[in-house]
Structure 1
Amino acid sequence: MPSLSSASNLTADATLSLTLRLVNPNQLKGIKYDPLNVTVYDFPNKSNVIGNILMPGFYQGYRKKATKPGQGTANTTVALRAVSENGTGVFRVDMATAVKFKTLYGYSKRHQIRIGADVVVNASGVKVDRKGIRLRSMAPKMGNSCVVLLGALFNFLLFALLDFW
């Protein structure tokens, strides 16, 4: 995001660009992506949208990698408010799409996908970490509630058995 750079005075440049790298590890299953909608929010409250990027859908063969660049227009006033005094900021990047898997028998039903990650950018508007950022599922995790439920059920059975003795 070049508009964050205070040294270049490019505040008129409201370009928001990113590159998605998608990996299909499936053997014998291709993936057909619907259009990908990438939204960048301010952090941490996600109340203001900085920008949207709509990328066209595509087919990805099995065990293939795809690199998809995308560009959109950013709301520079929101982006500049999200950046701290030292020139760094944290943005939330969310992606939503739907996919169908292609097998020998045809296409599967459509599956909705919503993933996201927090991205730290520097004063030049470039992400700080040199490594790629892995987008994670935004679905609620049920692991902790299952453990609590099983623990409550175990306590109930234990007290019920103690009452019989």
Structure 2
Amino acid sequence: MEENPLCKCLMCIISTVGFIFFSLWITSLRAQPPNFYVQSIYFPSLNKTLIQNNDHPIFFTLKIVNPNSDKGVLYDAVSISIGVFVTDNATVSLANATLQGFYQGHGKKAVKSGTAKGHIGGGGGRGRGKVFLRVEVATAVKYKNLVWYSKRHHLWGGANVEMNVTSGTKVSPKGIRLGHVPARFGSGASAQVPGAGILIYLLLILCVCLS
């Protein structure tokens, strides 16, 4: 019995539409987490804080990079916590801050400045003549694919920042990425799906259309 051409055409259309949605679904799972950098940090009372416990603000600037050229990123509030190393392995909390949530376009960069409010009981100490702050960030994001958003993914990370005791600024002139050793930046996003699935699906479509 000869196959109905109309049925064959409909099968090809359904398969093509299915492939498009499957490709979009695969793409949505391949989101890369944003990169956070400490561009600047200024602790004007650093010397005094190392001697006694007081209430001191810390000024900072973060650069946030969206590495996804095909996705926007919608951020929840971004929490920043800053501590100081009192030994090689122990820190004491100094200050906290929260940045308002925002939307970031495809492949865009954002610069966010803020003030971390210090609290009594901070203090700190020098280790071998150097002072290191521990800067950590935590937030949650949704990735925008065309007109819809993915589920919420939690992000977190941190970095150790060497400070100049005299100037109260960080020693390195370059941005310090939050997430490098000793703690990589974490993400609740799904793992990247291999492209083999798309190839298999495409072969199935060709088989149906040519049969």
What TM-score results when the alignment is normalised by the length of structure 1? 0.72
2:118 aligned with 1:113, yes or no?
A: no
Query: Could you give the per-residue CA deviations for residues 82-138 of structure 1, whole angstroms, max 9, x where no partner exists?
Result: 33574x311111100000001114000000001100000011221001111011135
Equivalent residues in 2 for 1:73-152, closer than 5 Å: 73-75=117-119, 78-79=122-123, 81-84=124-127, 86=129, 88-123=130-165, 124-136=167-179, 137-139=184-186
Size of the aligned set, in residue pairs, is: 133
Aligned to 2:57: 15
Work out which of the two has the higher radius of gyration on C-alpha atoms and give 1 or 2. Answer: 2
Query: Could you give the per-residue CA deviations for residues 34-92 of structure 1, whole angstroms, max 9, x where no partner exists?
Result: 0000001222445521110111111000111100001022247634x233574x31111
- The letter of the residue matching 2:96 is N
Report the aligned-residue RMSD: 2.2
2:105 counterpart (61, 70, 76): 61
Q: What stretches of structure 2 of length at least 5 have no aligned partner?
A: 1-42, 187-211
| CA distance in 1: counterparts of 2:131 and 2:82, whole angstroms | 12
What TM-score results when the alignment is normalised by the length of structure 2? 0.57
Query: Could you give the per-residue CA deviations for residues 5-62 of structure 1, whole angstroms, max 9, x where no partner exists?
Result: 46xxxx9771211111011121120001100000012224455211101111110001
| CA distance in 1: counterparts of 2:100 and 2:153, whole angstroms | 17
Answer whether contact 1:3 1:13 (CA < 8 A) is retained: no
Answer whether contact 2:57 2:95 (CA < 8 A) is retained: no
| CA distance in 2: counterparts of 1:131 and 1:76, whole angstroms | 31
Answer whether contact 2:161 2:170 (CA < 8 A) is retained: yes
Aligned to 1:2: 44
| CA distance in 1: counterparts of 2:163 and 2:147, whole angstroms | 44
Aligned to 2:33: none
